[in-house]
A and B are shown apart, each in its own frame.
Chain A
């Protein structure tokens, strides 16, 4: 009766032993969005005096640099005239168009949404114009869109 046990013990001692271990790596990924405005944009007056626009002569579009890591969305709010000189009567239409990481080739007055996802450093070029058939009184004007990455 003992002999089978001895044989089993001997057989067990003769087999090479193998060790196996799982090595674990952990990591956490966070969504990130980076916005930069290296070029703020400049609007100038059209020859007929009814359009203030960044695509007029000597005007300059705004450039926004976007970096997105994750499922982010870019929203451009409906552009508005946020400041104007006294005596200005209003009645304007503020519009924007953009190109680069997304395209809106024609001027629009409505909010725009751009899904981003994973995006390396990419430019969005934004043109803006204020249109008023009655023209503009002398002074400083500010038009703005709020660009939100969320």
Chain B
């Protein structure tokens, strides 16, 4: 009996829990293409990725770990730099970030959804070997 009372008191004393995790939907997949500078592959020359983030309440959104996931044999991946840039809009607000290989964050205001346009860029001083390349950037919200 005492235990049940304690549990009830515990339940009443806790703050209201946060909403469940936000939804991250990739609406448009990004495509990398060679730029006029043959040492750069960029989605700005190809197709930027468009992501819709919804189902949140004042989320902190971060972009992190832009990285090269796959490359053709013979490519000197150790000399390559991968960066991400973004442009985000939501009701009555926006945020932008230039190319960075680190983590970038912003906090969206109350709104139904955030539309995030994400670009990836790979810079390789020695150029690119013929073949397929894949990059990834992690988007998280909390």
Contact = CB atoms under 8 A, between A and B. Distances in A.
Direct contact of A and B (CB under 8 A): yes
Nearest to B128: A29
Chain A: interface size category: 20 to 34
Contacts of A22: 136-139
Contacts of A120: 38
Interface stretch (A13-21, A49-57, A102-110): A13-21
Chain B interface, >50% SS class: strand
Chain B: interface size category: 35 or more
Nearest to B17: A13
Interface stretch (B3-11, B87-95, B98-106, B107-115): B3-11
Chain A interface, >50% SS class: mixed
A17 B41 contact: no
Contacts, number: 121
Contact of B136 (A6, A23, A118): A23
Given A26-B132, A27-B46, A71-B129, A21 B138 contact: yes
Given A17-B18, A23-B26, A23-B139, A118 B127 contact: yes
A20 B4 contact: no
Interface of B: 3-4, 7, 10-11, 14-15, 17-24, 26, 29-34, 38-39, 41, 43, 46, 49, 51, 69, 72, 118, 120, 126-142
